[in-house]
Chain A
Amino acid sequence: MPSTDSPSAVETSQPEVAAPLAQTQPNGKGKQPEGAQQSSANTEKSKSNSNGKPAGNAQETSSTKKLTPAELKKKAKEEKAARRAQTVAAKEAESAPAAPELSPAGPSTVPQPAGGTSGSQQRGDGQKGSRTQQRTGGPVGNSRNLPFRGSQKVAAATAAPVVPKKEDKTVEFFRHLYRQRTTSIADASKEVHPAVLALGLQMGNYTICGSCARLVAMLQAFKSVIEAYTTPPGNSLTRHLTSHVLSPQIDYLASCRPISISMGNAIRWLKLEISKVDVDTPEAEAKKDLCGAIDVFLQERVTYADKLIAKKAAGKIKDGDVIMTYAKSSVVQRTLLRAFSKGKRFKVIVVDSRPLHEGKHLAAALVNLGMDVQYCLLNGLVHVIQNVTKVLLGAHAMMSNGRLFARVGTAIVAMEANEADKPVIVLCETIKFTERVALDSIVHNEIAPADELVTPGGPLTNWEDMKKLQICNMMYDVTPAEYLHMIVTESGNVPPTAVPVLHRMGNESG
């Protein structure tokens, strides 16, 4: 880690205030403009957390030379967070009657009030002790190839207009997709519930990742929000809850990472549910009903749907099949496991790509069960596709024009499969269906921080200093409907043309 050498060279031109930052700043941050000082302090902090090895050291050593401005700011923020957590906790205590029933439902996402002091130092990672371990403990953290998708770079990008000499590093075609992400609870509005606060951060750094996982976590957190809710005098729950309480939570989550399609569908459903609550229903009963409805919703639309899809799709797998999949989808994994546990003997080819290498985790999981696995990156795709009998793909969303919105690279796999005349099967819960349409992968997408593509110490170190160089790290692509042959949903196996029909049945009819 060249955390000390390369940036310091650039630092000489920087104002005094910024100079001490270099001590804990990892590479590439040297040119942080003064205008972005505030945010750089924030990002610096998140970086030290998320960037693996140095974080641990920095945390330890900083206790001795603790008084850098960055550390001071961090401390101030922690205190602020702690204060807020306390007030929230106090609120929770007020609404105690509802709390006992609900806390067992989502223990992992409901932060302890105390998390405000110790937990927030790890930016809400406190609840996930093991993860924190991985992140800060050097070798273990490195063994996971999953990079930490902090949004450090966004600060630099958006700061560009402030300091003219700083080059805009955003890619022109995607400029509409870059937005500043909330990376610390300090920026959050005070209406945000602690459970949601923590969740937002977890989503932002990809601890909770995947369309369904995020959906489930969000609804669980909203349950906490509802439980903690008290209707102010002169208002009704029906009118007040959505606009005054739920909306800030949603805005905050969206600021951490754009809301997924499935989350959007669930939010719409929840709002509808709230609006249907009779004004005369007692508050406690209404809250209980809502939380119950959320549980049923999750059960039906996610848990049961996943099971059903896995069952159906596993039925399509025959002995001797060669199944290709791309990256990692939980429902694809579940399908493969189910088929394997039913005694089917088949081979799995996992295709993967940089920078997430999600497929490696899937491959490792399958190998450990004794399955026959072949692994390659996209460069090996065309060499193995001839032997494939079926392609199973996961989805982030199914667009209304039958196109598949999924992890970037999926379109390539589907294209080659189509060329080789192999059936392409998408496994997708109807909660991921949307009325939106997409023709290309540029209008609607998500841009991840470019630094994820920089291998530490590799040739791209300090890439921001290279004029006219941009690095684009998009997260999704759109697969044309003609490459897809079947979509397995909990409502049946359908062709891509049936997506709008199922969407209307599932997500729009209340």
Chain B
Amino acid sequence: MTPTQKGYAPNLTVFKKSLKAASVETSIENLISLLKRRQIKNSRPCAMATAELLRIVVARDRWTDLGKLIAHIQDVGRRLVEAQPRELAVGNIVRRVLGMIRDEGNEDRKNEGSDSGSATGSPQLEFSIPAPTTTKRPPSSSLRFASTDGVHFTEDRPTTRPPLMTSHTSYAVANNVPVQQSMFNLLSATGSPNLTPSGANSPHGDSTPHPFALSEKMINSTKDLRAEVVNGIEEILDELEQVDDQIAAYALEHIHSNEVILTHSSSVTVYKFLLKAADKRKFTVIIAESYPNDHEETHLAVMGKMKDPESEEEDKETYLKSLQAAGITVILVTDASIFAIMSRVNKVILATHAVIANGGLVAAAGARIIARAAKAHRTPVIVLSGVYKLSPEHPFEFESLIEYGDPGSIVGYEDGTLVEKMEVDNPLYDYVPPDLVDLYITNLGSHAPSYLYRIVADHYKPEDVNFNNPELLF
């Protein structure tokens, strides 16, 4: 029996291939229709497709200055988000690319400034120490950057280039200044564009320039910048490739021997996390089947047929190692059994579709009752999520994030006309409020839900948060 070809790999791969030949505009249209028709779905494929597309846009489009590039990316991003507003990862990637372009502009400008500046370095340096995120690179990177004016566009990227927001680094360094200044906005001479429509006279410092102001300078170095931005996007793509393995690296910190772990549906992230822990420890995993939308995949997963998303071959199915082969005892239960079995569960591990800045998350339907039942039993709930799923958008109505599936998978044709006579609901996602989550594990480390706002702020520039929502841009 061959599993149904439901995976995203073929369509994503096809899309990637098509990028080589098609024009930029065709590619944009192509992705929009793929998103609309849900042929590319789920956070990671959507994020990857978006990043791939933006790389092409940056590399091939004619742009002369960063301001125009930002405007163009915003425009493309808006169209993509509109095509599938519930795939928050699309918007997240667009925002990160926008932020990166802005950083390139700022850093370029700063470099020139620091030629004449004092040896004490930029203020960013001071703030890089309290930077709250785990930076795998030494904090001196910004120092190195500050002292390598102009020569950073070399081939040897990792050592001479300033860190972009990849899995290793974040905006923390660049972003602490706005945070710290926001209370000073009231008194500051520069002020934020929000608060001072009339420019105040400024006795010191200079204000953040509008991107368009950069244009003249940019013309000379467009080529270098193009390479820089493309490199940055490639780092995002690298992050997307590695994110599950990076999260899995924390597994042994959280799973001890003989634990009983409850999870649901079929998430590669959770799966890899468990596999990693199984290298060293023996434990039991209870999997709720998440009927009716993901049970087929869940059943395949417990039967050792979890598809490996990294596999490039389209024709051949490659599977991840099964949990059982790794020594884990797997117990499949129905969704209804969750409350009953929770008294034996040590930890609940959930995957997400998207994470929201308030610490809440959107996950496969059923996640909320699992989290609630865990709360009722005082069982800790751990959520695994790559930072690319962290969205800065603040939903004012959580129901708007929920996508509904085909009622036919609940009441099928074999029940005759029953489905027409009554209202049948089949939500694909649940919103899980932050008070039901005890811990988030991202590729940057483990965080309390109350701290997520910071991780989110580190990854997106405030001016990009609402790029797709002009009425919130002010």
Chain B residues with Cβ below 8 Å from A408 are: 334, 336-337, 340
Give the A-B pair count, Cβ closer than 8 A: 184
Contact B329 A415 (CB under 8 A): no
Contact A442 B336 (CB under 8 A): no
Interface string of B283-302 (1 = CB under 8 A from A): 01010011111011001101
Interface string of B181-210 (1 = CB under 8 A from A): 000000000000000000000000000000
Contact A442 B324 (CB under 8 A): no
Interface string of B359-391 (1 = CB under 8 A from A): 000000110110011001000000000000000
Chain B residues with Cβ below 8 Å from A382 are: 368-369, 430
Given contacts A354-B334, A470-B330, contact A373 B1 (CB under 8 A): no
Interface residues on B, range: 35 or more
A window 321-379: CB within 8 A of B: 353-355, 360, 363-364, 367, 373-379
Contact A469 B340 (CB under 8 A): no
Contact B415 A364 (CB under 8 A): yes
Given contacts A353-B335, A381-B369, A473-B334, contact A376 B410 (CB under 8 A): yes
Contact B332 A469 (CB under 8 A): yes
Majority SS at the chain A contact face:
mixed
Contact B324 A459 (CB under 8 A): no
Chain B residues with Cβ below 8 Å from A453 are: 289, 332, 334
Contact A415 B376 (CB under 8 A): yes
Contact A468 B339 (CB under 8 A): no
Selecting from B67-75, B110-118, B418-426, the interface stretch reads: B418-426
Does A292 count as interface, using CB distance less than 8 angstroms?
Answer: no
Of all chain B residues, the one with the shortest Cβ separation from A380 is B425
Given contacts A412-B369, A459-B300, contact A379 B411 (CB under 8 A): no
- Give the complex CA separation of A148 and B422 in angstroms: 27
A window 260-277: CB within 8 A of B: none
- Give the complex CA separation of A285 and B443 in angstroms: 81
- Give the complex CA separation of A410 and B344 in angstroms: 18
Does A445 count as interface, using CB distance less than 8 angstroms?
Answer: yes
Contact B376 A459 (CB under 8 A): no
**How near does chain B come to A359, taking the closest CB pair, in angstroms?**
11
Contact A469 B303 (CB under 8 A): yes
Contact B331 A171 (CB under 8 A): yes
Contact B418 A363 (CB under 8 A): yes
Chain A residues with Cβ below 8 Å from B292 are: 354, 377, 379
Does B399 count as interface, using CB distance less than 8 angstroms?
Answer: yes
Chain A residues with Cβ below 8 Å from B427 are: 379-380, 383
- Give the complex CA separation of A461 and B330 in angstroms: 16
Contact B329 A470 (CB under 8 A): yes
Other-chain residue from B3, B332, B339 in contact with A471 (beta carbon distance below 8 A):
B332
Chain B residues with Cβ below 8 Å from A466 are: 302-304, 322, 324
Chain A residues with Cβ below 8 Å from B332 are: 453, 460, 469-472
Chain A residues with Cβ below 8 Å from B304 are: 466
Does B328 count as interface, using CB distance less than 8 angstroms?
Answer: yes
Does A441 count as interface, using CB distance less than 8 angstroms?
Answer: yes
Of all chain B residues, the one with the shortest Cβ separation from A368 is B421
**How near does chain B come to A396, taking the closest CB pair, in angstroms?**
13
Contact A383 B399 (CB under 8 A): yes
Given contacts A374-B425, A457-B1, A468-B328, contact A379 B365 (CB under 8 A): yes
Other-chain residue from B295, B327, B337, B373 in contact with A472 (beta carbon distance below 8 A):
B337
Does A300 count as interface, using CB distance less than 8 angstroms?
Answer: no
Interface centre among A379, A416, A466 (most CB of B within 10 A): A379
**How near does chain A come to B80, taking the closest CB pair, in angstroms?**
27
Other-chain residue from B295, B302, B414 in contact with A143 (beta carbon distance below 8 A):
B414
Does A278 count as interface, using CB distance less than 8 angstroms?
Answer: no
**How near does chain A come to B306, taking the closest CB pair, in angstroms?**
11
Does B237 count as interface, using CB distance less than 8 angstroms?
Answer: no
- Give the complex CA separation of A509 and B32 in angstroms: 73
Chain A residues with Cβ below 8 Å from B410 are: 375-377
Of all chain A residues, the one with the shortest Cβ separation from B432 is A382
Chain B residues with Cβ below 8 Å from A461 are: 1
- Give the complex CA separation of A445 and B344 in angstroms: 14
Contact B337 A376 (CB under 8 A): no
Does B18 count as interface, using CB distance less than 8 angstroms?
Answer: no
Chain B residues with Cβ below 8 Å from A479 are: 339
Chain A residues with Cβ below 8 Å from B302 are: 460, 463, 466, 469
Contact A379 B335 (CB under 8 A): yes
- Give the complex CA separation of A408 and B334 in angstroms: 9
Contact A441 B340 (CB under 8 A): yes
- Give the complex CA separation of A173 and B416 in angstroms: 40
Contact B330 A445 (CB under 8 A): no
- Give the complex CA separation of A87 and B368 in angstroms: 59
Chain B residues with Cβ below 8 Å from A470 are: 329-332
Chain A residues with Cβ below 8 Å from B430 are: 379, 382-383
Of all chain B residues, the one with the shortest Cβ separation from A476 is B340
Contact A367 B421 (CB under 8 A): yes
Contact B330 A367 (CB under 8 A): no
Contact A380 B423 (CB under 8 A): no
- Give the complex CA separation of A355 and B335 in angstroms: 10
Does A142 count as interface, using CB distance less than 8 angstroms?
Answer: yes
Does A216 count as interface, using CB distance less than 8 angstroms?
Answer: no
Chain B residues with Cβ below 8 Å from A282 are: none
Does B333 count as interface, using CB distance less than 8 angstroms?
Answer: yes
- Give the complex CA separation of A232 and B402 in angstroms: 71
* 12 A-B interface contacts by CB (under 8 A): A364-B418, A377-B291, A378-B369, A379-B430, A407-B336, A415-B376, A440-B343, A467-B325, A469-B302, A473-B334, A474-B341, A477-B336
Q: A143-B415, A172-B284, A383-B402 are in contact. List 17 more A-B contacts (CB 8 A).
A: A145-B414, A171-B331, A173-B344, A360-B411, A375-B410, A377-B292, A377-B426, A379-B365, A383-B427, A408-B337, A459-B303, A460-B299, A463-B302, A466-B324, A467-B324, A468-B327, A468-B328
Chain B residues within CB distance 8 Å of chain A:
1, 3, 284, 286, 289-293, 295-296, 299-300, 302-305, 322, 324-325, 327-341, 343-344, 365-366, 368-369, 372-373, 376, 399, 402, 410-411, 414-416, 418, 421-427, 430
Q: What 5 pairs across the A-B complex have the smallest Cβ distances? A: A409-B336, A441-B340, A477-B340, A379-B365, A459-B299
